[in-house]
Structure 1
């Protein structure tokens, strides 16, 4: 191999790394390729074209399976289907028949969705395995206010194409019945996929994910503490949309934030996250983050960042069984114990007879 050939291979390896990193970061391939062209001084100085880059990205977006992982998937899915005909799974394959994405839901998930399809949360930020593949659970809330799994997937990429495939797989699994509302983090790719697959579903962003960015986005400002206080007041205490708008404009003018791109983008999308805008829809008591945090607890005892896919499918079953046992315990408590009323109102007695203990406690807090 000549020196020139070695240099070309080395340069292309650097380009491949850049393409993959930018793809994961959500930067369109066309923009990445144009920047490479500019750096090279023109198309004539490249020994590859945009099509070859696109083919590379397509191959990079498949699941990188280790030894025994593919067999573990097949064995797990076959075992589950032999136990329950309602078990559902689907693979997304690339042009060489290699797995890119996968979705599955057991019979219990599908049955629970019949009752608890009003609101779901979808969050890929919590768990990735040793191959950096996002775990993508669909989470609902049951009659105890407890987080329940309504299906899940493993993705090779967090782009709109992968999310569209996953949402369509989940929708097919649930007999075409879309949720009434969905909560996600602030992700453009997810938003595109939701608008395409769930066009009639109310969509809001996770408030916790947005508010936790305050230090990163605004801490450098000399009046950060005052800005933070003003923004929290707008988000949590606005009574009307008019009041929210008025106070937002005051904050922007007072602290000279007209050129802050982050706040400007949040204002454009205000109907998806500020409480006064979303309060007209039913959210099953979910403000946002507590469901993701509950799923953290659901997974923590069983899987972690070093878990292989083979271990994942084995431990996932154990985690599900733990959650089922917890629900059965709460069912038993609600059927065999009664929480005393505090007001004496007939309305409270009525809800005492129909609510589970955990939900009745929430109602009682409001009565008190």
Structure 2
């Protein structure tokens, strides 16, 4: 037989080998001085003898070599490849043609599959689903000339091509490329004395623009994700006019000590033109407390209440009365206290009743009560972020894109994919809010005012308070000058369907049309609570001053 090129010769022998059930390799080539191949031997993949590469004979590695002699020899004659000898016999069993696809020589990841794998990987689709889509499209595994491992190898290679090689060097090149595409893109990289990557911070122009509008309150949490290099993901998160979490910058940290947090907070503050937030929520970390006071001296700091309450079973679960009154007493002191004095009284009562005066954990919490007890934090606007649930919801958003096995080189790439999706969600909410109207649920003119100026998401919160207002009872207690004091009685249903009556106090300034309420929602959500709305109705206030209207 004769072939025009060595490639045609190899293709023909591969087709034959696949039908017969064996794999092939190039065993020998002979080249001329100019580099052209003159002689070629293609044989069975099981040809040759196994030569162990290690000396540990107690742990032999599997081998396919059986010194099989099946092969073909060919040489180049006047530009044509001619077969000179053929050996068809094998010294081993061959497999069925359906299983030939498992031989390396018969695997082929075609251009279409490569393109789909690369596009899906850029979109954040995991390898399992990525490969599964190709299997479904091909009509089954048997119709594919490659396996999942081949897809994974291709994706890893494609990522290296996209982001280059190395750790800190790769990120630097990537950030430079992003900056050339976006003038507002900001990044900072911190390296140690040996120029090894230590900490990274970055923020795009959208994050900086969003901070101008929604930078009053931020949350910062490093407990979400630590990648395979042990670098915690540290996002700065805010909330927009739809009540959605928005990213205001992010970092990857090598450690969680004071110097690292100071570097990150200063980098973020510089990115935001030196304008510190009015309030910040973090987890209960002593290092964080000092850092916030140092970098944001005028910012109100709050511990995440959820993180603290989660520790109750660990710290007090061994107490004999934990489930027999102690846990309920702590929750009552926290959630039912409308004033600081009321909290002090209830705290002291359960400490004395359950003999916990020597408990170091509770003593430490009490000493820092102004950082986490709701009664001490009512005078500050928290934009609905009383805990770090904003960070957690942001983390849930990234869950489909990054995970603990994400490499440093691919992290930023997937981060951008997630961020683009986040922008699309906000854009959709903007469109729906501008082109849809939620009808008023009552005849109160104050509700119509909120309907005209609030987004759909925030107006739904107003409607919830309006209906709660109808079910509460408002009583004028006293009036001193232009200040009136009201008691508002409300019934609250707990998780166990228990109904309890709670009294809230609302202060109303007639001259300034100003309202103050002991309800925590008043400051927390930026929406007037039902108790304050009730006072508005009693005083026939049908329109609120501009300070109560969110941008």
Q: TM-score, normalised by structure 1?
A: 0.81
| SS in structure 2 of the partner of residue 95 of structure 1 | coil
**Which structure shows the higher helix fraction?**
1
| SS in structure 1 of the partner of residue 398 of structure 2 | helix
What's 1:163 paired with?
Answer: 261
Q: Distance in 2 between matches of 1:111 and 1:341?
A: 32
| SS in structure 2 of the partner of residue 257 of structure 1 | coil
What's 1:115 paired with?
Answer: 213
What's 1:104 paired with?
Answer: 202
1:206 alignment partner, one of 275, 299, 304: 304
What are the equivalent positions in structure 2 for 1:133-148 lying under 5 Å apart?
133-148=231-246
Question: How far 1:76 sits from its partner (Å)?
Answer: 2.1
1:310 alignment partner, one of 398, 406, 409: 409
What's 1:40 paired with?
Answer: none
| SS in structure 1 of the partner of residue 280 of structure 2 | strand
What's 2:172 paired with?
Answer: 74
What's 1:235 paired with?
Answer: 334
Q: Distance in 2 between matches of 1:133 and 1:123?
A: 13
8 Å Cα contact 1:110/1:150 also seen in 2: yes
The structure whose Rg is larger is 2
Q: How big is each residue's C-alpha offset from its partner over 1:300-320, in whole Å with a ceiling of 9 and x where there is no partner?
A: 000011111111011001010
Question: How far 1:75 sits from its partner (Å)?
Answer: 2.9
Q: Distance in 2 between matches of 1:303 and 1:103?
A: 17
1:217 and 2:315 correspond: yes
Q: Distance in 1 between matches of 2:347 and 2:410?
A: 49
Question: How far 1:67 sits from its partner (Å)?
Answer: 5.5
Q: Which has the higher contact order (CA 8 A, sep 6+)?
A: 1
The alignment's C-alpha RMSD in Å is 1.2
Q: How big is each residue's C-alpha offset from its partner over 1:219-275, in whole Å with a ceiling of 9 and x where there is no partner?
A: 000001211100011111101111100110011000000111110000001001111
| SS in structure 2 of the partner of residue 182 of structure 1 | strand
Q: Distance in 2 between matches of 1:79 and 1:297?
A: 28
What's 2:248 paired with?
Answer: 150
What are the equivalent positions in structure 2 for 1:1-368 lying under 5 Å apart?
68-225=166-323, 226-368=325-467
Q: Distance in 1 between matches of 2:177 and 2:428?
A: 27
Deviating above 2 A after TM superposition, structure 1's stretches of 4 or more consecutive aligned residues are: 66-72, 95-99
8 Å Cα contact 1:104/1:153 also seen in 2: yes
8 Å Cα contact 1:72/1:313 also seen in 2: no
Q: Distance in 2 between matches of 1:132 and 1:256?
A: 42
Instruction: Quickly say closer, same or farther: Cα 1:185–1:259, change in 2 above 3 A.
Output: same
Structure 1, unaligned runs of 5 or more:
1-65
Instruction: Quickly say closer, same or farther: Cα 1:169–1:343, change in 2 above 3 A.
Output: same
Q: Distance in 1 between matches of 2:400 and 2:337?
A: 40
